[in-house]
Amino acid sequence: MPAQDDIHIYLASESPRRRELLERIGVRFATLPQGVDETPHDGESPEVFVIRLALEKARAGLAHRPAGDPRPVLAADTAVVVDDRILGKPQDRSEAMTMLQRLAGRAHRVLTGVAMVDGEQEATRLSLSGVTLRPIAEAEIQAYWASGEPQGKAGGYAVQGRGGVFVEQLEGSYSGVMGLPLFEAHDLLTEFGVDYQASWREGR
């Protein structure tokens, strides 16, 4: 993690996947705390849900930004959707088993909302991907839960980890399914004037 005075942006997230993705493209950042209620509102569409939460997380992070610091805050939220139902993070083994049994052998949507705020302006983007999982035997699901990976993952699986062996097809943004679509993130960084590619030009 770079020093506080050597960062491009703040990230309102503790997600290792989002940190990894930003590091991959050379964005220097520091993390800020955010605590928002991730319960969907009644009648709220998945698209509205992920954008709302991303924006709420970014605003929550902004409240913790050092006074007088103009650097923007980035946040994101990801939802797995099947049969128009949002699947959150499994709370226990039983819920994870139910989620993966429901997703196995069929297609579902993965939506990630991304938001950036700086105290003067706010902007959001939405990434939509389609994922098809192959049929998964119950013994595999049990072994996967025992690995510890499904915990804390929307839909109960991680495409970038062991859960990748279940993915038969992915249409859209791989990084978006991971939790931070880099195309949309770049769009927001550019809109807010963040020159994160300076290190590229320097060969770093």
Largest Cα–Cα distance of the chain, in whole Å? 54
Q: Residue 48 phi/psi, 5° resolution?
A: -65, -40
Work out the average pLDDT over 95-109. 94
Q: Bridge partners of 122? A: 117
Beta pairing, strands 73-82 & 9-11? parallel
At which residue do the structure tokens 């959150």 appear?
Answer: 88
**Burial group, residue 16, by CB count within 10 angstroms (0-12, 13-18, 19+):** exposed
Residue 84 has pLDDT above 60, yes or no: yes
Q: What is the pLDDT of residues 121-145, one digit of tens each?
A: 999 999 999 999 999 999 999 999 9
**Nearest alpha-carbon partner for 48 in 95, 81, 91:** 81
CA–CA distances in Å: residue 67 to residues 1, 64, 115, 122: 21, 8, 21, 18
Judged against a pLDDT cut of 60, whether residue 111 lies above it is answered with yes
User: What does R_g of the chain's alpha carbons equal in angstroms?
Assistant: 17
Beta strands of 100-175 (E only): which ranges? Answer: 107-117, 122-133, 167-171
pLDDT for 21: 96
Total domain count, the chain: 1
Please report the pLDDT score of residue 2 as a whole number.
54
User: Is 60 exceeded by the pLDDT of residue 3?
Assistant: no
The mean of the pLDDT values for the chain is 92
Which residue out of 77, 83, 92, 118 is catalytically annotated? 77
Q: What is the pLDDT of residues 41-75, one digit of tens each?
A: 888 999 999 999 999 999 999 999 999 999 999 99
Residue percentage of the chain with pLDDT more than 70: 97
φ/ψ (deg, to 5) at 133: -100, 145
Query: In this structure, what CATH number is given to the domain that contains residue 50?
Result: 3.90.950.10
| 101, pLDDT greater than 80 | yes
pLDDT computed for residue 103 by the predictor: 95
Residue 1 pLDDT greater than 60, yes or no? no
Residue of higher predicted confidence among 2 and 148: 148
Q: Which domain holds residue 46?
A: 4-201
pLDDT digits (tens, 9 = 90+) for 14-48: 889 999 999 999 999 999 987 888 888 888 999 99
187 is catalytic: no
Tally: H helices and E strands in the chain: 7, 7
Query: 136-190, pLDDT tens digit by residue?
Result: 999 999 999 999 999 888 889 999 999 999 999 999 999 999 999 999 999 999 9
Burial class (CB in 10 A: 0-12, 13-18, 19+), 34: buried
- Pick the closest to residue 181 from 110, 103, 81, 122 (CA basis): 110
